Amino acid sequence: MSAPRRDRLALLRDRLRAVAAPLAAPSYEVLAREASDEVLVTTADAVITFASPTFTSRWGLDRRWLVGRDALSWVLPEDLPAVRARLAAAVRGQGPVDSEHRFVVRSTGEVRWVRVRFSDALGVPGVRGIVWNCRDVTELRRGADALRHAATHDALTGLGNRRELLRRVAEAAGDAAALGVVLLNLDGLKAVNDRHGHSGGDAVVRAVAGRLAALVGEDGLLTRLDGDEFAVLLRGGPRPVAVAAAVLAERALEQVRRPVLVEGRAVVVTASAGTAVCEDPAGVQDPARRLFRQADVALTAAKAAGGDVGVPFSQRLLDAAHERAELAADLRAALAGGGVEVVYQPLVDLADGRTVGFEALARWRHPDRGPVPPSVFVPIAEESDLVLDLGAHVLTSALAQLRRWREGTGRDDLEVGVNLSSRHLVQPGLAEQVRRALEDAGVPAAALCLEVTESAAVGDLEAARSALLALRALGVRTALDDFGTGYSSLSYLRRLPVDVVKIDKSFVDDHTEPSGRAVLAGIASLSAALGLLTVVEGIETEQARAIVRDAGCTWGQGYLFARPMPADAVVAHLLGRDGEGPGEGPGEGAQKPRERTSTA
Ligand code: C2E
Ligand code: CA
Ligand code: CA
């Protein structure tokens, strides 16, 4: 017999069996393991001999048409080898074997997932075949895929998230010659949320994500790590990855800078970028961790530089970061061990020259480095909760001193100003903390003025507003510090519930210019109209004093009147026993300003 003929005969035999099978009333116990299952019975080589009514009605197929057909003919070609192997295993009698694979729906061409349990019933009378218990699991799998997708992707932008990024770095680390990462953090997204609501902030994030996606394209993997943070993973290619990262960072900043329309209004945000590179990641332990730590150090430097710049990681940056961490630890120890001193600088009524109060200023002498200026240690403290300890220390010291000065001089009108960092201002429970400090010191609330910088208050306007209102409810006064150095928007004077405006020294330095004088007079009259007191900082000369007084400012502070002095010197200063003239006496840097400039 020739081979084709033998095949045809075998086929015929199978067909005959198939036609007979439904009539043979197969054992439904075996077939319908679960009522919802769709059941096929096939020969060992997958020719259909039986189809259950659930199967035929589910797929709208005619039973007679089905019988005799190859049950594997609908399986997606890619999945076919695996399905064949499983079927063969069942035929070899290895118990029920499960397969999950895709098949194509004949009528629509749609690809769906099916889970099939193959059971060997070749020896079961009335069945004599392999039983296929089939179940469509497409929706189940879609659900699982959606869950997996949700766990690794960001819902707002559809971009991968931190988990996805870490997975992809680990994957790429195995075979890439070099990896690069660009961390991008939006500057001032919080301000957008404050002004335009969260939907406005979301719109900005989505627009930025879209632009970045277009920019990155196939060159890298763009992910969103946090509310305002994106990351791009780059692999070493023809261009050194460091160059690629720097170029990408620059272009990304350009893209972010373009205005975004939020409800018809143009909103501008910028971003800061930190880049890092890892050569030969396969040879590095935990390359992802190293890459992101380094990029983060670079990003912190970019933020510290004022934002809207890209900074590559370098050893120098890491050293500086270590130094800051060391200083922070030393400052913590100093605060705990009484190593942070508070000095006081007089506030003077410009009309009559009387000292009306003092501003408390922190001083730190490092055991090895000597005096560390507040411009260095305050920002370091602000990077952590350390600044809360600093604030608490200065507040309690200043209030205790004020009580002593008032008692020592009988001057019940004296007040004290304490600087408050933005982090401290929005700290929950601040008002209660202040109330308790006042109570402990036995000082009335009205004698305390808390100074908050303009930029700190504007950074989180709503939170700042409510904190300032809570302080006002206590009876504490508040000042907007360094006015004119940040946004210089007069509208903030109206929007922030403060009692005092402290006009920055730069306005005084401008006083010789007629325009500078006009601005000064403008701020003074607007403040007066709003019922605010004006304090001008950094008055160093008689001429400056005369000008700010003529401009209508209320109080002044500066080396002309006195430098910051230790607490012990304050009573003597108030009683007029503190030396011969301005700039001299027990204050810091006891030189005349004139001498300072000539030796500088
Ligand atoms: P600030 O609040 O604006 O403090 C005024 C600064 O101007 C002080 O510098 C003071 O010494 C200086 N100053 C006063 N008069 C003159 C003058 O006539 N000419 C010049 N050139 N400077 C004058 P200081 O003490 O170095 O403080 C710098 C900044 O550090 C402060 O600015 C404040 O923002 C921050 N700071 C100081 N102490 C504290 C504190 O206890 N807590 C917080 N959060 N910040 C503090
Ligand atoms: Ca201040
Ligand atoms: Ca100031």
Give the model confidence (pLDDT) of 106-120 as tens digits.
888 889 999 999 999
Residue with the smallest CA separation from ligand 1 atom 46 is 419
CATH of the domain at 98: 3.30.450.20
The partner residues of 365 in beta bridges, in order of sequence, read: 371
Ligand 1 atom at minimal distance to the Cα of residue 453: 34
Q: Helix crossing, 514-529 with 542-550: angle to 10°? A: 50
| Residue 149 pLDDT level (bands cut at 50, 70, 90) | confident
Per the domain annotation, does 597 fall within a domain? Answer: no
Query: Cβ distance 456 to 421 under 8 Å?
Result: yes
Distance between CA atoms of residues 324 and 376, nearest Å: 9
Examine the fold and report which residue of 107, 141, 175 is the final residue of a domain before the chain moves on.
141
Q: How many angstroms separate the alpha carbon of residue 479 from the centre of ligand 3?
A: 10
Examine the fold and report which residue of 118, 141, 164 is the final residue of a domain before the chain moves on.
141
CATH of the domain at 368: 3.20.20.450
pLDDT value at residue 268? 92
Instruction: Write out pLDDT tens, residues 486-528.
Output: 665 677 788 889 999 999 988 888 666 777 788 888 889 989 9
Burial class (CB in 10 A: 0-12, 13-18, 19+), 524: buried
Express as a percent the part of the chain with pLDDT over 70: 89
Distance between CA atoms of residues 247 and 521, nearest Å: 47
pLDDT value at residue 175? 85
Q: Are residues 228 and 252 in the same domain?
A: yes
Q: Helix crossing, 189-216 with 461-474: angle to 10°? A: 170
Distance between CA atoms of residues 211 and 181, nearest Å: 18
Q: Are residues 95 and 171 in the same domain?
A: no
481 lines ligand 1 (CB under 6 A): yes
Highest mean pLDDT pick, 14-18, 171-175, 330-334: 330-334
Mean pLDDT score, 1-21? 56
pLDDT value at residue 584? 42
Distance between CA atoms of residues 132 and 37, nearest Å: 9
362 lines ligand 1 (CB under 6 A): yes
Which residues are CB-neighbours of 76 under 8 A, at least 6 positions away? 101, 102, 103, 104, 111
Per the domain annotation, does 146 fall within a domain? Answer: no
Burial class (CB in 10 A: 0-12, 13-18, 19+), 214: exposed
Q: Are residues 386 and 443 in the same domain?
A: yes
Per the domain annotation, does 598 fall within a domain? Answer: no
Examine the fold and report which residue of 108, 141, 174 is the final residue of a domain before the chain moves on.
141
Q: Which ligand is nearest to the CA of 378?
A: 1
Mean pLDDT score, 455-460? 75
Ligand 1 atom at minimal distance to the Cα of residue 424: 44
Q: Are residues 186 and 304 in the same domain?
A: yes
Q: Are residues 516 and 406 in the same domain?
A: yes
Q: How many angstroms separate the alpha carbon of residue 419 from the centre of ligand 2?
A: 5
515 lines ligand 1 (CB under 6 A): no
Distance between CA atoms of residues 432 and 444, nearest Å: 14
Q: Are residues 518 and 444 in the same domain?
A: yes
pLDDT value at residue 511? 63
Per the domain annotation, does 433 fall within a domain? Answer: yes
Q: Are residues 307 and 335 in the same domain?
A: no
Per the domain annotation, does 84 fall within a domain? Answer: yes
Q: Which residue has the higher pLDDT, 456 or 511?
A: 456
Q: Are residues 453 and 475 in the same domain?
A: yes
540 lines ligand 1 (CB under 6 A): yes
Distance between CA atoms of residues 520 and 508, nearest Å: 8
Mean pLDDT score, 364-371? 95
Residue with the smallest CA separation from ligand 1 atom 34 is 419
Query: Cβ distance 527 to 547 under 8 Å?
Result: no
pLDDT value at residue 176? 87
Q: How many angstroms separate the alpha carbon of residue 504 from the centre of ligand 3?
A: 6
pTM of model > 0.75: no
Per the domain annotation, does 325 fall within a domain? Answer: no
pLDDT value at residue 507? 82
Tell me the residue range of the domain where 464 lies: 331-589
Q: Are residues 182 and 306 in the same domain?
A: yes
Q: Are residues 166 and 137 in the same domain?
A: no
pLDDT value at residue 5? 60
Q: Are residues 169 and 213 in the same domain?
A: yes
374 lines ligand 1 (CB under 6 A): yes
Q: How many angstroms separate the alpha carbon of residue 344 from the centre of ligand 1?
A: 10
378 lines ligand 1 (CB under 6 A): yes
Q: Are residues 438 and 484 in the same domain?
A: yes
Per the domain annotation, does 148 fall within a domain? Answer: no
Instruction: Write out pLDDT tens, residues 211-257.
Output: 999 999 988 999 999 889 999 999 987 778 999 999 999 999 999 99
CATH of the domain at 161: 3.30.70.270
pLDDT value at residue 133? 92
| Residue 583 pLDDT level (bands cut at 50, 70, 90) | very low
Which of 341, 359, 361, 399 to mutate for ligand 1's pocket (most ligand atoms within 8 Å of CB)? Answer: 361
Per the domain annotation, does 582 fall within a domain? Answer: yes
Please count the structural domains in the chain: 3
DSSP state of 324: H
